Amino acid sequence: MYIADLAPYSYGLGEGRFVAGTACVGWLNGSSASPRSQGSPSSQFLAALAQLTWRWSVNQARGNHVCTLCSELHDTFLILDGGPKMLLGAAELWVPSLDYSVIFVAPNLVYHYVSEHRYAPPNAFVDAVLGAEVAYKQWDPRAESEKLLNSAFV
């Protein structure tokens, strides 16, 4: 499902509903109508994104989305340090900006988009990912995502 970068999060919420204070990142599809910036990620950003994806994925779904940017549709996995596989495309990352003014929401498949397809997310998201380990000491993505999602129905 394509959602433009920095648009408010609305995935699965129904027509006209969105979560205030959120900004989507990396909701790509293989359509040519899905514009995306490209670049080479720093090794520091890629490592931080991998750790964040492995440790802090939220809103786990029962099914998964496959990467439609790949030439063949197949499940996509993250493997850290030769350890177990983590299926991507079945959960999300909720990452506060450095000043906590916005919450970035990305499918956890964003790791694959960055590492394999050279997707360049907005700089503010990159900064947030690099600062997430500090932010998560006082901000729980699981509790906050649940609270914010519930606020869309009030």
Predicted TM-score (pTM) of this structure: 0.88
**Inter-axis angle of helices 43-56 and 123-130, to 10 degrees?**
70
**The pLDDT of residue 140 is above 60:** yes
- Mean of per-residue pLDDT scores for the chain: 86
Number of domains in the chain: 1
Residue pLDDT, tens place only, 73-108: 777 777 777 778 888 888 999 999 999 999 999 999
Answer whether residue 138 is part of any domain: yes
Q: How far apart are CA 111 and CA 95, in angstroms?
A: 14
Q: Are 94 and 111 in contact (CB under 8 A)?
A: no
Residue pLDDT, tens place only, 46-68: 999 999 998 888 888 877 788 88
Answer whether residue 134 is part of any domain: yes
User: Which pairing describes strands 85-88 and 92-96: parallel, antiparallel, or unpaired?
Assistant: unpaired
**The pLDDT of residue 33 is above 70:** no
Answer whether residue 2 is part of any domain: no
Answer whether residue 6 is part of any domain: no
Q: Which one is predicted more confidently, 78 or 117?
A: 117
Task: Give the pLDDT confidence score for residue 122 in this predicted structure.
Answer: 95
Answer whether residue 143 is part of any domain: yes
Q: Alpha-carbon Rg of the chain, whole angstroms? A: 15
**Inter-axis angle of helices 43-56 and 110-117, to 10 degrees?**
150
Answer whether residue 144 is part of any domain: yes
Range of the domain at 115: 22-151
Answer whether residue 13 is part of any domain: no
Q: Are 90 and 58 in contact (CB under 8 A)?
A: no
Answer whether residue 12 is part of any domain: no
